[in-house]
Amino acid sequence: MTQNKSVAVSLAEKLLHPAVLSSIAVVSIAAFQAERITKQVTQALFPPAPPPVTEVKSLLVDRLEGKTELTTAEVALETIVKTSQERTLGHLYLGETTVVYQGIGRVRAGIDLSQLQVTQIDRDTGRITLHLPPPYLVQMDLDVERSEVLEHNRAWFAPNTETELYTQAQRQALQQIREEACQEGLLEKANQEAAAVVRNILEAARYDDITIETHSPNPQTCTLSLATSSSRH
């Protein structure tokens, strides 16, 4: 019994020797590093598949050259507005300055693909269901080269406000062009065209059972202020 105990103590002392412990630590670290490197190489060679929803959005954006803004409908319109300002002295009429302006512009509508929602997808069967966001007015431009002042009158002692009236006429022309675009169904057309574009892209990617839900335009789309710009050609 004493001899066995001595052997056990001797073995324990050898195992606890600093050199032995150091060797064990080195082997453990090497094994951990090898496992980590193997994992990194595996991930690099065989990256995990992206989530289906992300895959669909990336597919659409890639086919549209990296754009999330999908413009699918546009219309060119023109309108004529009249602005004027009188000058009076008490009840005495002194004159009036009038500007008649013809505005020619273009309105574009589309959807924001970043807001698209995929509610069902099965790549094996080719089934997919997605919801398109409501269409909106993407941009509205006033072509200042083609737009023009049709009439300008300043009678008697009328105020010298041509510049202010010209600017006011441009704003009113833009507003009327926007309203006319909405009345002509530009947003509804953008909805239909967006669905057709998305369907074509999905069919090319071999989705066979495609359901696309569209949403009606926001009622405030045509009444909210819209950032506008002027274009020169």
DSSP state of 48: P
pLDDT tens for each residue of 79-128: 999 888 877 777 886 778 888 899 999 999 999 988 888 888 888 888 99
Task: Tell me the per-residue pLDDT of 39-59, one tens digit each, with 9 for 90 and over.
Answer: 554 445 444 444 566 777 787
CB atoms within 10 A of CB 28: 10
Write the single-letter amino acid at 136. Answer: Y
**Separation of alpha carbons 123 and 115, rounded Å:** 21
- The pLDDT > 90 percentage for the chain reads 33
**DSSP class of 46:** S
Distances in whole angstroms, Cα of residue 43 to Cα of each of 37, 40, 51, 226: 10, 5, 16, 47
Answer whether 108's CB lies under 8 Å from 74's CB: yes
Instruction: Give the three-state DSSP class for 155.
Output: coil
Q: What is the pLDDT of residue 230?
A: 40
pLDDT score of 221: 81
Return d(Cα 81, Cα 165) in angstroms, integer: 11
Confidence of residue 190 (pLDDT cuts 50, 70, 90): very high
Cα–Cα distance for residue pair 233/231, rounded to 1 Å: 7
Cα–Cα distance between 38 and 180 in angstroms, integer? 64
What's the Cα-to-Cα distance from 221 to each of 22, 87, 168, 182, rounded to whole Å?
72, 37, 22, 9
CA pair distance 114, 5, nearest whole angstrom: 74
